[in-house]
Structure 1
C-alpha cells in the first residue's frame, strides 16, 4: 500500500533536479538485467552495470547483451563479482548510487542440486555485500529479485504474497527466501527501503538458454527430441520480459518508499498456461514439429505456478498484457535472427 499512501511523496527523479539519477544494476549481463539496463539508460537514468560473467551458460550470449548496452550513452559496465567485498565496497563509495536494482544471482532450480555452493556464494554472500553497500552509502531504495520458487510445496492457488513460504523444494528457493529475510532485517535495522519482486517464469528475446522454452527452441530447430517433464502435466505463469521491465520501470519512476519499509510483490502474468501450449506455440512460430520424450517430474520442480498480482496492480500499476503466443512469436523471431545465425 505504500505507493497509494505516499503518492504525494517525492519521487527519485525529483530528488536530484540538477543531476541524473544513478542506478546500479547487478547481473546486468543477464537476461532481465540487460533489458532493464537498456530501458532505464534509454530513459535518461545513469546506469552502472556489474556482472561476473560466469560460465553457467555460454558467456558469448552475455557478451552479446553487453555489446548492445555499450552503445547506450547512459550505461557503464564493470566486471565484478558480488562476493568481492573490497571491490563492491569501493564501487558503492565511488559511485554514490541513488538506487540499486539487485538482479545478480545464481539462477536455476536444477543446477542448485548439482552445485549448491554456487548458490550460497552468489545469492547469500553476494546479496549481503549489496545490502552492506546500500546501508553504508545511503542508497535511497533497494529493489531486488526474488522468485516464484519461494512458494515451494504450497498447494493453494493462486500464490499470494500473504501465503507462508516456509516449505522450499530446492536450495535455490531457500536462498531466495533467505534474501527476503535479509532485506527485511536491513530495512528494520538501518531504515533501508527494500522492495522484493517474485518473478514468475520470465521469457523472451535474449533469454536464458537453461530455461525450457529456450531449450525446446534449440532442439526443435535441430530436429532433436525435447524432454517433457511430469508427462506434460505442467502449468507455468509465463511472463513476458517487456511486461516485467514495464513493472520495474514504474517502480523506479515512482515515489520513494518510506524509510524502513519492506514490501514483496508477485510479478507474474496471472494466467497459468499448459506446458503443451508453450510447445505448440513454439512449433507454430518456428514452423517445425517437436518430437516429445515424456519423463517424470524432476527433483525440486513443482507442477504449477500461478501469481496473485492484486497487490502489484494496486500499488505499482503492474499489468502484464502480452499473450503467450505473441511473446513466443517475438522470442522465435529473435531466436532465428540471432541464435541460428550466430550459433551461440
Structure 2
C-alpha cells in the first residue's frame, strides 16, 4: 500500500450510499478528503458535503484549488432503475461528469483515479461460466452503456496522459444507507411492518449482492495499491443467490415474514452469471467480509433505527 499523502482525497457522490461509507472510512483513518455531491449538506457524524454539480467544471476546480492526492469518483445516477425517462441527463451526469472529474485529476496530477463502475456494463451473461473482466461487454441499458463509456474514457486518460486510473465494477450494493429501490430493503420493511411481500418473478432469478462496507473496502484498496496490473476489476460479494434464496435468508432473520415469489426474471434487471473476483483478490487483497445473512441483519437494524427516529421526530 502507498504512504498516505497530506493532500485530500476527492470523493464525488459523497452523499450517496457508497460515498457516505467511503468518507466515514477516511475520517476513521484520519485522512484528508474533499466530499462532493450535488447539494451542500451535513451528513451523519457531522461530515460536510460540498455542493457542486459534476457539470460545473469551474466549481470542481475551485474545490481542488489547493491540490488533491487522488480521486474516488462515485458521483452518478446509481442504477438502471434511476432516470429511465431522462436519458439526456444520464449521459450528461454519468459520462460528461466523469470526463470533467478526469480532467480535474489530470490537471492536478492526481496520484490515482478510481472510477466506481458497475457490473451492469456486462449486460446479459452466461450462467455456469465465471464472468471475468475481459468478458465481452453488451450493456442492455443506457445506465450500463454509460458505465462502459466512462470506463473507456478513464482508460484512455490513463494511456494518453499517464494518469494512474482504475475501473471498479461493483454489483448490487445493499446495506445501511441504501434508500433507493432495493429488493432486500423491500423484504425487510414488509417483514418489520408485518406486511406480505408478493413478487410475480424472482424465485429462480439470481443476483450477486455486495455489502456497502465491502464495496468501500474494495475502492479504498484500489486507491492505495502501490501498482495495479489491470485497468478494470470486479468487486462483488462471494455469494450469488436467487431472490428465492434471499427470501429464505430474510425469513431466518424474521421467522414470521410472509414472502411469496413466482418464477421468472426481474423485468427491470438482466440475467448475469457469477462474477469472478480473483483479479481483485490477487492484485490488491480484496476479500468480501460481510456474509449476506449478517448484512441483512445489520441492514434491518439500521432500517428499524431510522423508523424509530422518524416516529420520534
Provide TM-score, normalisation by structure 2: 0.90
Q: Number of aligned residue pairs: give it.
A: 311
For 1:127-185, what per-residue CA distance to the aligned partner results, in whole angstroms no more than 9, with x for missing partners?
Answer: 111011111111110001110111102215321102111x1111110000111101011
1:101 aligns with 72
Distance 1:229 1:24 in 2: 42
TM superposition shift of 1:229: 5.3
Distance 1:44 1:84 in 2: 29
1:1-344 residue pairs with structure 2 within 5 A?
Answer: 11-13=2-4, 16=5, 20-53=6-39, 66-70=42-46, 76-92=48-64, 94-155=65-126, 157-165=129-137, 167-228=138-199, 230-255=201-226, 263-292=231-260, 294=262, 297-342=265-310
TM superposition shift of 1:320: 0.9
Unpaired runs of at least 5, structure 1: 1-6, 54-61
Distance 2:17 2:100 in 1: 22
- The range that moved more, 297-306 or 140-149, is 297-306
Distance 2:268 2:149 in 1: 17
- The range that moved more, 262-271 or 144-153, is 262-271
Distance 1:162 1:48 in 2: 33
- Counterparts in 2 of 1:297 and 1:107: CA distance versus 1, 3 Å: same
- Counterparts in 2 of 1:253 and 1:111: CA distance versus 1, 3 Å: closer
- SS of the residue corresponding to residue 144 of structure 1 reads strand
- SS of the residue corresponding to residue 243 of structure 1 reads helix
- SS of the residue corresponding to residue 43 of structure 2 reads helix
TM superposition shift of 1:280: 2.6
1:3 aligns with none
- SS of the residue corresponding to residue 84 of structure 2 reads helix
- SS of the residue corresponding to residue 88 of structure 1 reads helix
Distance 2:257 2:204 in 1: 19
- SS of the residue corresponding to residue 231 of structure 2 reads strand
- SS of the residue corresponding to residue 27 of structure 2 reads helix
TM superposition shift of 1:202: 1.5
Distance 1:295 1:340 in 2: 35
Does the 8 A contact of 1:266 with 1:312 survive in 2? yes
Does the 8 A contact of 2:126 with 2:273 survive in 1? no
TM superposition shift of 1:100: 0.3
For 1:249-274, what per-residue CA distance to the aligned partner results, in whole angstroms no more than 9, with x for missing partners?
Answer: 323333155xxx86110001232112
- SS of the residue corresponding to residue 99 of structure 2 reads helix
CA-based RMSD of the aligned residues comes to 2.4
- Counterparts in 2 of 1:295 and 1:208: CA distance versus 1, 3 Å: farther
